[in-house]
Amino acid sequence: MDEHGSGALAERIRSWAAAGERYDVEFKSEQRKPLNDHDLIEAVTCLANGSGGVLLVGVEDDGKLTGARPRQGESTDPLRVQAVVANNTQPPVSTVVNVVDVDGVSVLVVEVPDSSQVVGTTKGTYLRRTIGADGRPRCMPFYAHEMLAHQIDYGAVDFASLPARGAAWTDLDPIEFERVRRLVRESGNRADQILADLADLEIARALGVARADDEVTTGALLLFGRADAIRRFIPTHEAAFQVMRGEEVQTNDFFTLPLLRLADEMFNRFRARNDEEELQVGMFRVAIPAYSETAFREALANALTHRDYTRRGAVHVQWTDDQLEISSPGGFPEGIDVSNILVAAPHPRSPLLADAFKRVGLVERTGRGINRMFAEQLRVGRPAPDYGRTTAYQVTAVLPGGPANLAMTRWVLEQEQQGDRPLTVPELQILSDLLRERRATTGELAHLLQRTENETRTQLARMVDRGWVEARGERKGRTWHLSAAVYRALDSSAGYVRVRGFEPLQQEQMVLSYVDAHGQVTRSQVAELCTMSPKQATRLLSRLVNEGKLHRHGERRATYYTRPS
């Protein structure tokens, strides 16, 4: 490694040490005794079975740099350490090893890649990285069911393709195959119509859940199995529908049913409780439900097909006074999290089950069901789905309820009729956010849309052209708000006045209060304080000087403003 690279790595080591051990950073001390190869290799396998990371030898648990001891005589050969690791792990782990001088001591840095395969030592030891109850990372034994879950998360294995040892064709229910045919016919073009004319075994083969030797798979049991067979062969499968009124439980039904029948049962209970109100849009009356049926269908399908079937726990649908919550065991699939859920490529935990739901017409065939959930919730005048309570062990989707913003719903439906196209998810997100927050910066909207600022500016420019949104300020000080036309359509002209009309008075008061508190102010401070461009700040300050409210001192960059004596 050259001097520049060594210096950059030394700086990263200081940063890692200062931050402390994390899920992807492990410290090992050699102050009392050398770290033997066995412990080194186990630490590497532990990180590889997490998400990869870096092992720092010569750093104490508290982050103090005490140095690593030479591993080969008077020195340490990084290539030999790499060879030791590769020769003693299965499958071999290709690490990158460096010895770096940091503040007068040597630190052995072992960079460990993330592995889609389960990694063990050649002696048969398997460890995994986890976070303990105290919030600190640690290495724990890696059990067989956890290894299976790891491979499923990385797409190496589809749970639905695994053989159900001991299960027979008689454990499958012919009624469930007929249910597939009925769903396909009812779904029309949304479904794969070929399935409607196939025999039972041919349907199973077409959906990929029948093996060549006709051995029953877990996928076949989940889709077509009898309830008693599912309980015997897939004991982790369960679902619950609960209705809460305050602290009182009104409904608490648990099911162990094949997935398509389970979806039917859940939909029927949902429809029975999903009240509607009517809205006049032009010449038509439109029913506005308490919750979007499309959003619920997609959320439920995601919970049933993407849940971790190696983990115990039920899929829960919980209906409370002000929201509908759908939760399922297991976190998001690898590479998906709350920050990219709208833009990440589809990555189902079980592609076979997800494909089955698409082909029978229960969910969106494009794999963009999350986007449909957001669009349908926003279209009926309610907040977007919330995944904020999702953890590494459970995905929780919350559909907010409460009174709908019918004025916004009417306006959206009218725009869709006039434009002959549905509004996109980004358009609906921006409109909803600006209606709620009144104004937002480009960066705030980019975070909301999960897109870059350039993409967001392009989207906003299109909405400005359509007369929906207006800009205020320039460059970094630019903010966005709904146009006067939109506020008029929403019967809220006063809302537009609050956004636009009070700004000059508010900005003036903010500047004067700042001067009263700090004695003086500069143009750049005013621009930052009022989220405006430097030119706008100059005009505001000039007006306050002309009105005798401020006094100017200095020239050019040295200019500052105070209150008159």
At 117, which CATH number? 3.30.950.30
Per the structure, the count of domains in the chain is 3
Report if residue 446 sits inside a domain: yes
- Residue 3: the pLDDT is 54
DSSP strand E in 29-116: where?
A: 53-57, 89-90, 96-102, 105-112
Distance CA 97, CA 542 (A): 61
Co-location of 467 and 511 in the same domain: no
| Angle, vertex CA 390, rays to CA 384 and CA 396, nearest 5 | 60
Low-confidence ranges of the chain (pLDDT < 50): 493-497, 501-502
- Provide the token pair at 421: 């196209």
pLDDT tens profile 39-76: 999 999 999 998 899 999 999 989 999 999 998 888 89
pLDDT score recorded for residue 217: 92
In a domain, 544, yes or no: yes
Residue 494: CATH number of its domain: 1.10.10.10
State the DSSP H helix or E strand holding residue 460, giving kind and residue range, or none if neither: helix 453-465
Q: How far apart are CA 559 and CA 516, in angstroms?
A: 18
Closest CA to 208 of 190, 226, 220, 192: 220
Three-class DSSP category at 546: helix
Point out the domain boundary residue: 484, 500, 516. 500
Q: Please report the DSSP string for 334-357 in residue order.
A: TT--TTTTTTSPP--S-HHHHHHH
Residue 558 is predicted with a pLDDT of: 86
Residues 6+ apart with CB under 8 A from 259: 222, 223, 304, 305, 353, 356, 357
Of the three residues 82, 110, 142, the one that is the final residue of a domain is: 142
Give domain status of residue 93, yes or no: yes
Residues 430 and 549 reside in one and the same domain: no
Whether residue 31 sits in one domain with residue 92: yes
Rounded-to-integer distance, Cα 137 and Cα 127, Å: 13
Same domain, 486 and 514: no
Give dist(CA 353, CA 209) in Å, integer. 9
Write out the two tokens for 93. Answer: 């782990």
Residues contacting 268, CB < 8 A, separation 6+: none
Q: Is residue 226 part of a domain?
A: no
Residue 487 in contact with residue 376, Cβ under 8 Å?
A: no
User: CB of 287 within 8 A of CB of 315?
Assistant: no
Give the global pTM: 0.69
Specify whether 461 is located in the same domain as 523: no
Supply the range of the domain harboring residue 43: 3-142
As to burial, measured by CB atoms within 10 angstroms (0-12 exposed, 13-18 middle, 19+ buried), residue 506 is exposed
* CA atoms of 515 and 563, how far apart (whole Å): 7
Same domain, 121 and 14: yes
114 closest CA partner among 65, 150, 140: 150
Q: Which of 109, 142, 175 is the last residue of a domain?
A: 142
Task: Tell whether 305 is covered by a domain.
Answer: no
Residue 79 lies in a domain: yes
Do 468 and 496 fall within a single domain? yes
Pick from 26, 49, 37: nearest CA to 119: 49
Same domain (yes/no): 483, 522: no
Are residue 73 and residue 90 in the same domain, yes or no?
A: yes
CA neighbor of 153 nearest in space, from 263, 51, 233: 51
- Three-state DSSP at 45 gives helix
Residue 428 to residue 9: CA distance in whole angstroms: 45
| Per-residue burial over 333-370, b = 16 or more CB atoms within 10 Å of its CB, e = otherwise | bbebeeeebbeeeebbbbbbbbbbbbbbbbbbeebbbb
Co-location of 89 and 22 in the same domain:
yes
Close Cβ partners of 306 (under 8 Å, ≥ 6 residues apart):
328, 330, 333, 348, 349, 350, 354, 395
Domain presence at residue 121: yes
440 and 537 fall within a common domain: no
Per residue, the 3-state secondary structure of 4-35, as one string, reads HHHHHHHHHHHHHHHHCCECCEEEECCCCCCC
Based on the domain organization, do 489 and 553 belong to the same domain? no
> Does some domain include residue 48?
yes
Q: Which of 236, 225, 283 is CA-nearest to residue 259? A: 225
